[in-house]
Structure 1
């Protein structure tokens, strides 16, 4: 590992870099396609490509970087580094670029390249977990199901299943994953910071039976939404899940971390889960409330918000830097959450849809542009404490 270039000394380096770069690329390409009336990006129409790449490109890269970085900590085994890591990164990048480089490639082959990456990643992580007899097998299972969601999205594009079925499955899986992982790291990091700063009062607890019940209700509601859509029963379940998630978040006492943006942003990212679930459930009861408001609250607010929070924190920690959010980091947090607000409002206020959509896009690009500006130099250098 020490002989590898710095960029290949940990999974977070190439994949967080890839996630940031792809976040900055996808939105302008999609907006340009809308403005110019481009009919296809490879075998996909622009909207389908946008949805697919935001979820299975951007979010998938972040999940990969997190998993490859967390698994060695969970198992005590050496991290995947060097040329094996480079091969994984090239595989992910190939799936992203094929629609541009080989636009005539059949959809089936593109699906095999793309989903095959996540199946291979799931197998790799499962091997590491089993050899260490670790308990985090569900993470490998979620990634394998993410690969199936990827395939389902391509099946929808081919007309074999409902068009947005794969995206629904992907959103459901990733929100459940954030609920699982967020339920560990948010209270843990909050408790550690409160103790370090010697701030008195009750400390957040780790996951307990209530947390398990919240995750179960959330998973059941989202799975029902994926399968059945916005029926009255499903919408009620989604709103119940949103209310329970709000209670769960409040138990972590995020308001006590205002002095530490790098901790506070974890709470802000997670806060979009209850809000998104409430909006998604409310869409089943109120005609004026579009389903897209809830979907974008979950996708832009919760998923991207937690991704940016984790990428900044993990990059600082794993490159031997102080866990402190500098000006560029704080600005990126603010820009992303403003982007989420603008995107949700675009769905809620049709008269200003294009203005709010473009504003959201500009803020999104600013958020991840600032992330790249601040963190690419860290990813390309050895650890500061080497």
Structure 2
């Protein structure tokens, strides 16, 4: 017998809660995902600096792109979605042995990628490709059970992401750099689409609750325009080799204007005293900026690069939004006050600094390796603060004694 509490937590009286770390998906995936991002970036920085030469699956560039997107980002979104779906549907989320098995599937793939030729390639590919479809299946089960079709949108997105993952593995098998670009670019745009959907639902609410101000009411036409414009960027981005560069630029710049208008309405200035909120706003501002850079980068004589656009969306938007969201969700779902102190404020600023250095560092740092090392250092500081602060939070039961 299950009971939905007022804060979205589920009490399942017939099932033992078990080890706190495996009671809900956010616990293992947030912590392990954050730790993995630190390990992954440390390895990438060491490779670029010439300190190590590991025989990584797919080569160091492929491994870096793949593991940050399908290792780190996929883990965080899995933790978020499989926790949120419990609140959305009232159906108890995955936990215990089943959750442990899902985490193991993700972890084994990460180990296999790192071992390269030492691990059987076919098995590593199969394990890695299984993860996102399994997550989609777990999510779909809860949504379909209560016929909550509004949230079903995440299922096909996860499956398309799995397709992008398959393209990246195909790039390794075919030794085709263009497939690497296609697969990684697809994932970046799909994650950006997912972020705009999630942020549109929660940022206005978090802003109002965190600052004690009136909630900004959504404009239906603008919300529809945000979704349609992001879908258009996904299509234009993938079809860009066969489309006029001017048309692609127009699509991306139009989406940037639409999403810029959306975040402008959320009133950034009221958030300045609330780190958990201003960090979300700063991360979302990176989306219209990244879309603008993406559109401009394809024009003749462009003064910005596609790499700058991609890293604005990945380091700036994804990196900071993920850190802000996992910091907030971890507190809320463990029954703790939703407020952070100077340590996490420093963490948010550090990841934002990582974005500034990675995207614009070439304008004030002559050495590319130094730029990467500096950006990686800021990232390690930011996510290291999270691990230090949230390790006891995620590893212990709820502060209020409730399940979850």
Residue 234 (str. 1) matches residue 251 (str. 2): no
CA contact (8 A) 1:107 1:154 kept: no
Q: Secondary structure at the match of 2:117?
A: coil
* Structure 1, unaligned runs of 5 or more: none
Partner Cα separation in structure 2 for residue 110 and residue 282 of structure 1: 38
Counterpart residue number, 1:192? 209
Partner Cα separation in structure 2 for residue 307 and residue 39 of structure 1: 30
Aligned-pair CA distance for 1:2: 4.3
Equivalent runs, 1:1-386 vs 2, <5 Å: 2-36=16-50, 41-101=55-115, 103-134=117-148, 135-159=150-174, 162-194=179-211, 197=212, 199=213, 203-206=215-218, 208-229=220-241, 231-285=245-299, 286-347=301-362, 351-386=366-401
Cα deviations across residues 101-145 of structure 1 (Å, max 9, x unaligned)?
463445443221112111111011111110111120001111111
Aligned-pair CA distance for 1:223: 2.1
* Structure 2, unaligned runs of 5 or more: 1-14
Distance 1:304 1:84, change over 3 A: same
Partner Cα separation in structure 2 for residue 226 and residue 110 of structure 1: 27
CA contact (8 A) 1:71 1:129 kept: yes
Tell me how large the CA RMSD over aligned residues is. 1.8
CA contact (8 A) 2:164 2:183 kept: yes
CA contact (8 A) 1:172 1:223 kept: no
CA contact (8 A) 2:58 2:116 kept: no
Aligned-pair CA distance for 1:192: 2.6
Distance 1:183 1:347, change over 3 A: farther
CA contact (8 A) 1:16 1:62 kept: yes
Query: Number of matched residues?
Result: 381
CA contact (8 A) 1:15 1:61 kept: yes
Aligned-pair CA distance for 1:191: 2.4
CA contact (8 A) 1:62 1:307 kept: yes
- Which stretch of the first structure deviates more once superposed, 214-223 or 261-270? 214-223
